[in-house]
Chain A
Amino acid sequence: MVGPYVVRRMLQAIPLLFGISIIIFLMLQMAPGGPLASGEAQAAITPEKIERLRAHYGLDDPLPIQYLNWLGGLVTGDWGVSYDTGQPVLQVITERLPTTLALTGLAFAVSLLIAIPVGILAATRQYSVFDYASTGLSFAGIATPSFWFGLMLLYLFSFQWDLLPSAGLTDLREDHVGFAAVWDRTTHLIMPVAVLALIATANLARYVRASMLEVLGQDYVRTARGSGLPERTVILQHAGKNASVPVVTIAMLMVPELFLGAVITETIFSIPGMGALFVHSAELRDYPVLLGILVIAAVLVVITNLVADVIYGLLDPRISYE
């Protein structure tokens, strides 16, 4: 039964998340520098005021008290106030979350749409030109740093050939309506999605190929072929289902990775999502916002793991939830 299993796993996740919360809280505090440090060549502010600000934000309380205050707020829905904007953290994050979720979702979909057919084709035509080409490209994709890839795309498509816009999600000079608006949004998303999807696609294609190869060599596949089933049915239904079990795990674990990859993509392409927010908040040591984002990321990791395990069971009845 899946139901009780999910509930049990969720209960188990509570102490895990609790532990994670302590670690991220302490790690942020241990990093030198603090939220009230001023930058270079900035107007001097009276020292008394800095002390007052410390008190206002509760920064002069002992660490355990600060932690408990934060944890209490977290549970009751008060995630604190951003030191930077003065707005509630939940509001700051929910303003940005849809953008990043959309970007991550698109990148995930693109990865699956490319990686699965490429991986299957490469496995069924092992040692063919296509196999070598896709393997080579996958390794290149895994080895390419995304910030470099992003800057190269920008340089070529935006600055050299002037085909795609370089920043943001919409045209600032003109208001588009109808189809033009959709097209405007699409052109803004092509490069960020490509950068974000690159590593995930390359990795996934490798996994699809490997697990297909493993399955294709097994007896039941030979039996299926021997019984005269069309090759298409053998590959997609018989082999494909079993090969997908390990792929699902990897694919689900990629979701939080994509989510964190948005840090680089959003900064390069000036996209107002959680990734850009994270970088900005880290520079300012905006603890409440950073903690909020990290908590969401931790929850995402736990949830995607759980989803992967549930899908496992659905695909392979031999796996039991007892």
Chain B
Amino acid sequence: MAVALVLLLAACAGGAQAPSEVPESEKYGGTAVVAMVQEAGGMNELFHDQSGAFLGGEAGWVVEPLFLALPDGTYEPRLAAEIPTVDNGGVSRGGRTVTYRLREGITWSDGKPFTAEDLVFTFDVFRDPDSTALVPVDYELVESVTARDQLTVEVQLKEASPTYLELWKHVMPAHEFESTAVTAEHPQARLPLGTGPFVFTDFKAGDEIALERNPDYWRDPDLPYLDGITLKIVPELEVATTSFLEGQYDTVFFFTTGDLPQLEAAEESGAPIVVETQETDSWVEWLFLNHSASGDPSVPHPVLGDAAIREAIDFGIDRQGIIDTVLGGFGTLVGSPIYSGAFDVDIPPATYDPDHARQVLDEAGWEPGSDGIRVKDGVRASLMFQTVSGDHTRELYQQIIQQNLEEVGIEMNIENVPSNIIFGGYEEGGLLATGSYDTMMSRDGNYVDPASWMASFTCDSIPNEQQTVGETYGHYCNPEFDELAQQAASTLDQQERAELYSQMAQMFHDERVAIPIYSSTWGWAWNLQLQGVSPDYWSGVWPSVAEWYLAP
């Protein structure tokens, strides 16, 4: 709640920068130009997972979700009339039946009514083995979906699950399809039809994507203010950023923490832009540790299998130094694996204490060798240190970490590789999936509901030759942790879940399953010409698009 209040205040402060109150009638018209750095193959999030597709999906520009997440991890109903709870009869006592009530009078942008049938159809597409939709994991728990009437959908879950508000972030218009075997070749997979304030009109690959105002937007026929939006594809972030500062683009989708110092400096030196940063924690940069030897969870990693090494790494990294010197102060320290969303657990981060780290290693029998790198029973404390190649900011603090750990006697050999080598599947030899790494730096963990994130540290998540599917971070296998994860994912009692997640977070922290480095500060910047932008949502400024307008 406090967080929401802070954001609200921040939003008001942002609004105060407008020269004066613009009369409603002068807000209309104009086309905003937004630079998009990562082009998606299509703008339908159910078929394309590159970041650009977000603007066609969860951001609510064209396609809208049933529930919109707010910064504190609560939800606001959008296409739904209310949040289903046990109290309002939306959720059955046992938690296995959830009834979603839709708002009256919603129409697709082509004028056809939006009904319960559309939700049923979307689920049928997910179930169809011939469809290639990228089914979000939350649907695995759904047994059946039935339309009770035009505006009511009843869902049977296989077991009670608290993540039912994560369903239908994206609904497909049943009337646009002939069958449920929808594949990425379907035109709707490229430019989806939605209920939102804008309509896709054109997609010139590698060039630009055009959106036009939806004249009969159901929420308010007077919205949106803009006549249209042009998404210009600019593959080089540096070029996009500089052109943005020159006023060629109204905003950029999207900036990362590393861009914020430059943007803030430009704002201070008079560039016509507004920079806004998020108050809550966002994606955390993790140092994922491989707990197993060559992908086999029954054999501990020769170096990282030792808790002393993991503790020494935790205490040996000067995180604040990284934030201050490399990130220009944009970043916060985080100690808990569940640091945002509805169940955030507060655990203080490890302090930087190289003496403590050295002491821990001494006590565990890791003796410094002739070159200062520690050795125990003939095993050298030497680890491979990888992350996605090509990120300049990352490479800088990677070297700080390397140096920090060398000072306590742990050698980190930097060997960065392209992202799809890291994230490839088991059969493709992906490094994470096959466990072919020692330490891997990657961002993750920012979830409204932590269920799926915590699941990637369970024994079940580890793929092997018989069971090649699974997404694991660290080949960590601890039956106690699994037990808690299982309970937390199947109870509806929020109090009980909070208690279970708190235990898991503590266990995760004590065992040092993975080492958090810092939480990036999420930020946005837009040209002063663009007004009405507010970061009131979980995903930032993007869902406020209907209220955007160009200064007269």
How many residue-residue contacts, CB under 8 A, span A and B? 186
Answer yes or no: B273 CB below 8 A from chain A CBs. no
Answer yes or no: A8 CB below 8 A from chain B CBs. no
Contact with B along A2-38 (1 / 0, CB 8 A): 0000000000000000000000000000001111111
B-side interface mostly:
loop
- Contact at A44–B137, with CB atoms within 8 Å? yes
- Contact at B418–A166, with CB atoms within 8 Å? no
Q: List residues of chain B with CB within 8 A of the CB of A125.
A: none
Q: List residues of chain B with CB within 8 A of the CB of A32.
A: 417, 421, 424, 428-430
Q: List residues of chain A with CB within 8 A of the CB of B429.
A: 32-33
Q: How far is the CA of A270 from the CA of B248 in the complex (A)?
A: 14
Given A34-B427, A86-B190, 15 more A-B residue pairs with CB atoms under 8 Å apart are: A33-B420, A37-B425, A40-B423, A41-B443, A45-B134, A56-B183, A82-B41, A86-B183, A167-B248, A172-B232, A267-B235, A270-B239, A272-B204, A279-B235, A284-B50
Answer yes or no: B471 CB below 8 A from chain A CBs. yes
- Contact at A270–B235, with CB atoms within 8 Å? yes
Q: List residues of chain A with CB within 8 A of the CB of B442.
A: 40-41
Across the two chains, which residue of chain A brings its CB closest to B134? A45
A interface vs B, CB < 8 Å? 32-54, 56, 81-87, 92, 95-96, 151, 154-155, 158-159, 162, 165-169, 172-173, 267-273, 276-277, 279-280, 283-285
| Residue from the list B45, B189, B248, B456 in contact with A86, Cβ < 8 A | B189
Q: List residues of chain A with CB within 8 A of the CB of B183.
A: 56, 86
Q: Which of B137, B238, B248, B422 has the most chain A CB atoms inside 10 A of its CB?
A: B248
Answer yes or no: B140 CB below 8 A from chain A CBs. yes
- Contact at B424–A272, with CB atoms within 8 Å? no
Across the two chains, which residue of chain A brings its CB closest to B467? A47
Given contacts A56-B132, A166-B239, contact A44 B471 (CB under 8 A): yes
Q: Which of B182-236 contact A (CB under 8 A)?
A: 183-186, 189-190, 204-208, 230, 232-236
Given contacts A40-B423, A56-B183, A276-B235, contact A162 B246 (CB under 8 A): yes
- Contact at B283–A167, with CB atoms within 8 Å? no
- Contact at B248–A166, with CB atoms within 8 Å? yes
- Contact at B425–A85, with CB atoms within 8 Å? no
- Contact at A280–B235, with CB atoms within 8 Å? yes
Q: List residues of chain A with CB within 8 A of the CB of B190.
A: 85-87
B203 CB to closest chain A CB (Å) equals 9
B538 CB to closest chain A CB (Å) equals 13
- Contact at A280–B423, with CB atoms within 8 Å? no
How many of chain B's residues touch chain A, expressed as a range?
Answer: 35 or more
- Contact at A37–B423, with CB atoms within 8 Å? yes
Across the two chains, which residue of chain B brings its CB closest to A52? B129
Answer yes or no: B339 CB below 8 A from chain A CBs. no
Across the two chains, which residue of chain A brings its CB closest to B284? A41
Given contacts A34-B420, A46-B139, A50-B425, contact A277 B205 (CB under 8 A): yes
Q: List residues of chain B with CB within 8 A of the CB of A56.
A: 132, 183
Answer yes or no: B39 CB below 8 A from chain A CBs. yes
Answer yes or no: B42 CB below 8 A from chain A CBs. yes
- Contact at A154–B420, with CB atoms within 8 Å? no
- Contact at B137–A267, with CB atoms within 8 Å? no
Across the two chains, which residue of chain B brings its CB closest to A46? B135
Q: How far is the CA of A162 from the CA of B283 in the complex (A)?
A: 36
| Residue from the list A43, A85, A168, A268 in contact with B49, Cβ < 8 A | A43
Q: How far is the CA of A276 from the CA of B428 in the complex (A)?
A: 25
Given contacts A33-B421, A33-B424, contact A85 B205 (CB under 8 A): yes
A69 CB to closest chain B CB (Å) equals 17
- Contact at B444–A41, with CB atoms within 8 Å? yes
Given contacts A42-B49, A285-B420, contact A85 B42 (CB under 8 A): yes
- Contact at B206–A172, with CB atoms within 8 Å? no
Answer yes or no: B537 CB below 8 A from chain A CBs. no
Given contacts A37-B425, A86-B184, contact A96 B443 (CB under 8 A): no
Q: List residues of chain A with CB within 8 A of the CB of B139.
A: 46
Q: Which of B407-460 contact A (CB under 8 A)?
A: 417-425, 427-430, 442-444, 446, 452, 456
23 A–B contacts, CB within 8 A, in A order: A34-B420, A37-B421, A37-B423, A39-B419, A40-B443, A41-B444, A52-B129, A53-B132, A54-B427, A85-B41, A85-B42, A86-B47, A86-B189, A158-B243, A162-B246, A169-B207, A172-B248, A267-B236, A268-B236, A270-B232, A270-B233, A272-B233, A280-B235
Across the two chains, which residue of chain B brings its CB closest to A35? B420
Q: How far is the CA of A49 from the CA of B429 in the complex (A)?
A: 18
A262 CB to closest chain B CB (Å) equals 12
Q: List residues of chain A with CB within 8 A of the CB of B234.
A: 167, 270
Q: List residues of chain B with CB within 8 A of the CB of A151.
A: 238
Given contacts A36-B428, A41-B444, contact A49 B42 (CB under 8 A): no
Q: List residues of chain B with CB within 8 A of the CB of A272.
A: 204-207, 233
